[in-house]
Chains A and B, each alone.
Chain A
Amino acid sequence: MKIFATLYVLFITISFSFLKQQTPLQESIQRGKEVYSDFCVTCHLENGEGIPSTFPPLAKSDYLLNNRNKSIKGLKYGQQGEIIVNGLIYNNSMPALGLEDEEIADVMNYILNSWENTSNKMVTPEEVSKITE
């Protein structure tokens, strides 16, 4: 009986500690949310909906979800020229934002896992660092 009680308490403690602990991806998403509200929200808006034909959406964006490297590159070096997002043409420019590789990874993880977007593979600063102009 004593053993059972001890085990029970131990089990509960461990389960709770697991519940509280965030995975590295969740932590990155959390930081990415801060970056987003500082650098991105004015154009792409709170729910990633953008403005049709002006600022492309990030929420359920085929461009973002199918062009991981190009999206990172756009964040790192700026985005210029025509792109098609969810069937609409966007021909605007987003200047390079001056973000560090870690911030780019964080904000990528945030936008890839918000507003019904999902991604299995976490973006890491190393991955960002390897992307060149």
Chain B
Amino acid sequence: MKKSVLYFYFFVVIHNLTFSQKTGNKIYTPKKNLYSPVLFVDKLQVPWGFTFLPDGSILITEKKGELILFKNDKKQKIGNIPEVYVRGQGGLLDVELHPNYKENGWIYMSFASPKGKEKGGHTAILRAKLKDTSLIEKEVLYKALPNTTKGQHFGSRIVFDSDNYLYFSIGERGARDINPQNIKRDGGKIYRLHDDGRIPKDNPFIGIDSAKTAIYSYGHRNPQGLAIHPKTGGIWNNEHGPKGGDEINIIKKGANYGWPMVTYGVNYSGSTITDKTEMQGTEQPIHYWVPSIAPSGMAFVTSDKYPEWKGNLLVGSLKFQYLERLVLKDNKVIYREKLIPNLGRVRAVKQAPDGFIYVAIEGKGIYKLIPNTKK
């Protein structure tokens, strides 16, 4: 009798697994909550990005233009931050440390900057060092041009690979017919630089007349998630599609991701952008969301603190206000699960050096995911 129950259970599990592979756009609720969110940093408005310093303190960006150091359970505002263009989706955005931060002290930030001739703003990348509670040695490494007063699509996630190359995203700034497919214009791109801002000699568009040679890949809409795959070292992004058609892509050098010629989404009004979801010369996403979840930060789980989740991808949803856990197999999404629902818009997610996962949620703060004690 017992055996038959077990067989049945086995059958159900296998059936579910098989079924879920076909329905990449179905999301499941966990049967058992293995981990619980505990508020770690309270009272934040729009914590766009955060990163951990070697002493365990946290640097947090507030979109409205504040850099906060959370140390010994206290928040301190960091001074001498750059001038930030706060409009629409623009503001002070991501913050990231150099992989050798302990030796060189470099902190990298992305933000909407008003610098330039034209009215408006565009994404900029800056590095600086922290001295007491102030930034020093500020250097702007990249400033996209021309400025525009459009409120959309600054991109702005920053990530380093194992060779210390600096990657960052810039969205198409609400000009989909002008920017993403033109490598001579900023916006709708993933960029690659040396850690000091120099352009790598083997970047894909070097030697092309008047091309923006910092570009690494193009045809993006608004990538707000970037992460390095822990095993392959590959660069993964997620990006906001229009209505429907948010994507996860594996970023290849010089590749075209198709926006707006190819998309799985439609205009907000419901009208069609294009009927094409595939086209020769453009890359296919490894996963797309219909309806859109509005994906923000993302992180791979590698830590032993979450054995059931190892190798999974976590992606924040702004629209549906949860953290999504994606189980991958051969670069395909085979299972999606909804974690920590109803806390608020999930802006950023990171696995900290202590192995724990931290999640930044708008209007709330930063939560730490801790294992539920076994009963």
Scan residues 1-59 of chain A and give those whose CB is less than 8 A from a CB of chain B. 37-39, 41-43, 45-46, 51, 54
By a CB distance below 8 angstroms, the chain A residues around B86 are 96, 98
A92 at the binding interface (Cβ < 8 Å): yes
Q: Could you list which residues of chain B lie within 8 angstroms of chain A, going by C-beta atoms? A: 45-46, 63-64, 85-88, 90-91, 150-152, 174, 268-270, 294, 319-321, 344-345, 362-363
Chain B interface main SS type: loop
Contact B151 A92 (CB under 8 A): no
CB distance from A82 to the nearest CB of B (A): 10
CB distance from A76 to the nearest CB of B (A): 13
Q: 29 A-B pairs, CB-CB below 8 angstroms? A: A38-B151, A38-B152, A38-B174, A39-B88, A39-B151, A41-B268, A42-B152, A42-B268, A46-B269, A46-B270, A51-B319, A80-B45, A80-B363, A91-B363, A92-B344, A92-B345, A92-B362, A92-B363, A93-B46, A95-B46, A95-B63, A95-B64, A96-B86, A97-B88, A97-B151, A98-B86, A98-B90, A98-B151, A99-B87
Other than the given A37-B268, A80-B363, A93-B362, 18 more pairs (CB < 8 A) read A39-B151, A41-B268, A42-B152, A43-B319, A45-B268, A46-B269, A80-B45, A92-B344, A92-B345, A92-B362, A93-B45, A93-B344, A95-B45, A95-B64, A97-B151, A98-B85, A98-B87, A98-B151
Contact A38 B150 (CB under 8 A): yes
Q: Could you list which residues of chain A lie within 8 angstroms of chain B, going by C-beta atoms? A: 37-39, 41-43, 45-46, 51, 54, 78, 80, 91-93, 95-99
By a CB distance below 8 angstroms, the chain B residues around A95 are 45-46, 63-64, 91
Shortest Cβ distance from A51 into B: residue: B319
Contact status of A96 and B64, CB under 8 A, knowing A41-B268, A80-B45, A80-B363: yes
CB distance from B321 to the nearest CB of A (A): 6
Chain A interface main SS type: mixed
Shortest Cβ distance from B292 into A: residue: A42
- Give Cα distance in the complex from A46 to B242, angstroms: 12
- Give Cα distance in the complex from A51 to B324, angstroms: 19
By a CB distance below 8 angstroms, the chain B residues around A45 are 268
By a CB distance below 8 angstroms, the chain A residues around B46 are 93, 95
Shortest Cβ distance from A38 into B: residue: B151
Shortest Cβ distance from A91 into B: residue: B363
By a CB distance below 8 angstroms, the chain A residues around B268 are 37, 41-42, 45-46
CB distance from A69 to the nearest CB of B (A): 22
CB distance from B323 to the nearest CB of A (A): 15
- Give Cα distance in the complex from A10 to B294, angstroms: 57
Shortest Cβ distance from A55 into B: residue: B319
By a CB distance below 8 angstroms, the chain A residues around B63 are 95
By a CB distance below 8 angstroms, the chain A residues around B90 are 98
Shortest Cβ distance from B242 into A: residue: A42
By a CB distance below 8 angstroms, the chain B residues around A80 are 45, 363
By a CB distance below 8 angstroms, the chain A residues around B152 are 38, 42
CB distance from A56 to the nearest CB of B (A): 14
By a CB distance below 8 angstroms, the chain B residues around A92 are 344-345, 362-363
- Give Cα distance in the complex from A42 to B174, angstroms: 12
CB distance from A61 to the nearest CB of B (A): 19
CB distance from B362 to the nearest CB of A (A): 5
- Give Cα distance in the complex from A45 to B320, angstroms: 14
